[in-house]
Amino acid sequence: RSVGGSNPPSGTIFSDSVGEMVMRTAFITGGTAGIGEAAVRAFVGAGWRVVTTGRRADRLAALAESLGGAVHTLAFDIRDAAALDAALASLPADFADIDLLINNAGLALGTAPAQEASLDDWQTMIDTNVSALVAVTRKLLPGLVARKGAIINLSSVAATYPYSGGNVYAATKAFVRQFSLGLRADLHGKGVRVTSIEPGMVETEFTVVRTGGNQAASDALYGGVNPMTGDDIAETMLWVAQLPPHLNINRLELMPVNQSFAGFAVAREG
């Protein structure tokens, strides 16, 4: 359908009751940098309203200022259950009906083998990548079911291909992938789409955070690789979100062309 002979913005739908154009709303966690920030910009650019979360209030404020009234920001730690409840309760009416949840917030900490890794780092990854993700999802599920919405979870190729030092990070991303598939099973017949996006090398703040602020380590990792960017993944998420509602992408794995699969590791004796 069209209005005045023109096609509506791709982020809009029409009300079945009166035929009026209504903006869809995405809830994107971790919008202060990298893939999350790129996703906020991509969805706003496509005509969506966006609610986005993050701990760094200054970055959220700058993002909202650059994008105008289509963005509502929530500054809190996604691991804090009480803060999550308060943030959701504070949503203004124009942003309260969520059509799409993008669980993007997450991190990796450390590159040490398991026997040398920090237990505190492990717990932080579990709390952020797993516990917070399932909490946000459960809170928003009733509305997503009612609106026949969609969920996009950010997993990783690390969920499939283990590597030394990946240990708990990779395990959390394997959880995200399996949780996505489990949601698909539980939501059968409800009209809710669920997708696990599983990228390989994406140059963002990811490795800087993982190495405790070592920009040189990040530069060395991505140098000469021509890695994917946050914009690449954001555009992929937007494509998934705007597919016809009868189509579901279960899992989508992406890598830069210069990255492929590692061989088996073999230790030799003597």
Catalytic residue flag (residue 169) = yes
Q: Which residue in the block uniquely carries the two structure tokens 């959390």?
A: 172
Distance CA 89, CA 85 (A): 6
Q: Which of 161, 163, 169, 222 is catalytic?
A: 169
- Other Cβ atoms closer than 10 A to 239: 13
User: Three-state SS for 262?
Assistant: coil
**Tokens, residue 132:** 């917070």
> What b/e sequence results for 221-237 when a residue is b if at least 16 CB atoms lie within 10 Å of its CB, and e otherwise?
bbeeeebbbbebbbebb
Could you tell me the two tokens for 90?
A: 């504070």
Would you say 129 and 173 are in contact if contact means Cβ atoms under 8 Å apart? yes
Tell whether the torsion through CA atoms of 219, 170, 141 and 81 is positive or negative: negative
Q: Any idea which residues carry the catalytic annotation?
A: 169
